[in-house]
Amino acid sequence: MRIISGELGGRWIKGGGKRSTLRPTSNRVKETLFDILGERVSGAKVLDLFAGTGNLGLEALSRGARESTFIDSSPSSVKIIRENIDHLGISTRSRVLQGDASILLRRLHRWDERFDLIFADPPYPIGITQKILNQIAYSLPPGGIFILQHHKKVLPEADSECGIRKIRERQFGETVLTFYKKRTAG
């Protein structure tokens, strides 16, 4: 895997290896995702949820994001993310948290942390629950964007009670990117 564009463009990052169960976002999907986001990435505070290798949060940092927080429950994934951060020399703009996504999202909410962009690529068989979708919505400021990567057979809720709505969807074979936006006040 490599960083596609930005200050770190062309640099290689570590993946999970041949025996890994990680499913990193392909360069084609990643490039389309960041083309759609465009200038929203510059200066953004990013959350990479179910981060795996940190692929999306690292790409965001390369493209000018202010900072990225990476969350994953797997010790081996957290190790890979930390190695990638060290290899790229971006530790001052990165934070890695290991644990259950729901618990860590609640903690971030208690700390009153909000993220301009949130990426989530949960394991395909598990998908994303309405509870986590609601917690993600609370972690977005008005106008914030949440991008969910999921299998085409998994149909995530388009809206939640806490004010996010589906604004766009792109399919790449079995993979779908669904974009949500937090409603602005009023």
Q: Which pLDDT belongs to residue 66?
A: 98
C-alpha span between 152 and 179 (Å, rounded): 14
The domains of the chain, with CATH numbers, are: 27-182 (3.40.50.150)
Q: Which pLDDT belongs to residue 134?
A: 82
Q: Which pLDDT belongs to residue 16?
A: 66
Check: pTM over 0.75? Answer yes or no. Answer: yes
In this structure, what are the phi and psi dihedrals at residue 172, rounded to the nearest 5 degrees? -130, 90
The position carrying tokens 């969807």 is 169
- CA 45 and chain centroid, separation: 11
Q: What is the pLDDT of residues 76-115, one digit of tens each?
A: 999 999 999 999 999 999 999 999 999 999 999 999 999 9
Contacts 24+ apart (CB under 8 A), 150-158: 150/122, 150/124, 150/175, 150/176, 150/178, 151/124, 151/127, 151/175, 151/176, 152/176, 154/124, 154/127, 156/127, 156/128, 157/130, 157/133
* Residues of the chain falling short of pLDDT 50: none
C-alpha span between 63 and 65 (Å, rounded): 6
Q: Which pLDDT belongs to residue 21?
A: 56
41 three-state secondary structure = helix
Q: Which pLDDT belongs to residue 158?
A: 52
